[in-house]
Amino acid sequence: MKRIINQRPGILGKCILGLLPFIVIGLVYFYFSNERLAINPNDKLMPSFQSFVNAISYMAFEPNKRTGEYLLWADTAASLQRLGLGVAISALIGLVVGIMIGIIPLVRAGIAPVITIISLVPPLAILPILFIIFGLGELSKVMLIVLGITPFLIRDVQLRVMALPNEIIIKAQTLGANSWQLILRVVLPQVLPKLIDAVRLSLGSAWLFLIAAEAISSTEGLGYRIFLVRRYMSMDIILPYVVWITLLAFLMDFLLRRLSKSVFPWHSTDQGEGK
């Protein structure tokens, strides 16, 4: 008898098992929604399926009377621009600083304690400070994302560099590689795929910081819209926006995973993602 830990589903089985929880959640939601609406047709806590369709149609396919924009797409573009810029800056800083701390002992002794302390500061606690320093514009929102996830990326890259076998470093130096060549030709190829993994893990936090910043100070964005319609208990807009944010985050994670597999196939194989 084949043990359950050795049983692997096929492609169809993976799709079915992956979709099953969402189908169950949807069925449970619409069951209780119908029950509540049967008692109170004006109930806003659990809107009907038709309410969701009407709200999505209005937000996505009808121009706003005041601005002339399609609100869902305008909010999505604004949020993705802020998120993409913040994550890109964080990844670049995390890569450079993380490698320097991990490979150069003098840098590690001087900077690592500061990074550790900064990583322990709750980013949302310094959001008012960012608003005071950078104003209420785009820069403060991007900076919150950067300050929120950069310390994590730095520490992750540092640990990955320090975990490299000493034999690789010694052999490279024996062959005459200087510090710059050692970083570019030995350390960087080993660390880049792991940086992508770290960015994937930090996407949830990046979305959290973005939505928090948009909710407090913004005129467009997915987080801004959710907290705006909250005043009217518009769950028919809030829930689709939450689902949309989740889909965007999943798509970003999927694209990063595909990027890692295509550019660094050896890393994906080592991690067992091809199984």
Q: What is the pLDDT along the chain (275 residues), one digit of tens a residue?
A: 577 777 787 888 888 888 889 899 989 988 888 888 888 888 888 888 888 899 999 899 988 888 888 999 999 999 999 999 999 999 999 999 999 999 989 999 999 999 999 999 999 899 899 989 988 889 999 999 999 999 999 999 999 999 988 888 888 888 888 888 888 888 998 999 999 999 999 999 999 999 999 998 888 999 999 999 988 888 999 999 999 999 999 999 999 999 999 988 877 655 555 44
pLDDT score recorded for residue 199: 96
Could you name the CATH architecture of 55-271?
Answer: Orthogonal Bundle (1.10)
Angle, in degrees to the nearest 10, between helices 71-103 and 188-216: 140
Task: Write down the pLDDT at residue 268.
Answer: 61
Query: Rounded to an integer, what is the distance from CA 267 to the centroid of its chain?
Result: 21
Residue 100 is predicted with a pLDDT of 93
DSSP the chain: ---GGG----HHHHHHHHHHHHHHHHHHHHHHHHHHHHH-TT--SS--HHHHHHHHHHHHHS--TTT-S-HHHHHHHHHHHHHHHHHHHHHHHHHHHHHHHHH-HHHHHHHHHHHHHHHTS-GGGGHHHHHHHH-SSHHHHHHHHHHHHHHHHHHHHHHHHHTS-HHHHHHHHHTT--HHHHIIIIIHHHHHHHHHHHHHHHHHHHHHHHHHHHHHS-SSSHHHHHHHHGGGT-HHHHHHHHHHHHHHHHHHHHHHHHHHHHH-HHHHHHHTTT-
Do the beta carbons of residue 217 and residue 131 sit within 8 Å? yes
Backbone angles phi, psi at 26, to 5 degrees: -65, -45
Quick one: pLDDT at residue 273? 56
Tokens for 61? 């396919």
Residue 106 has, within 13 A of its CA and on its CB side, a CA count of 0
Contacting residues for 214 by C-beta, under 8 A, at least 6 apart: 79, 82, 141, 221, 222, 223, 224, 227
State residue 88 phi and psi, 5-degree precision: -65, -45
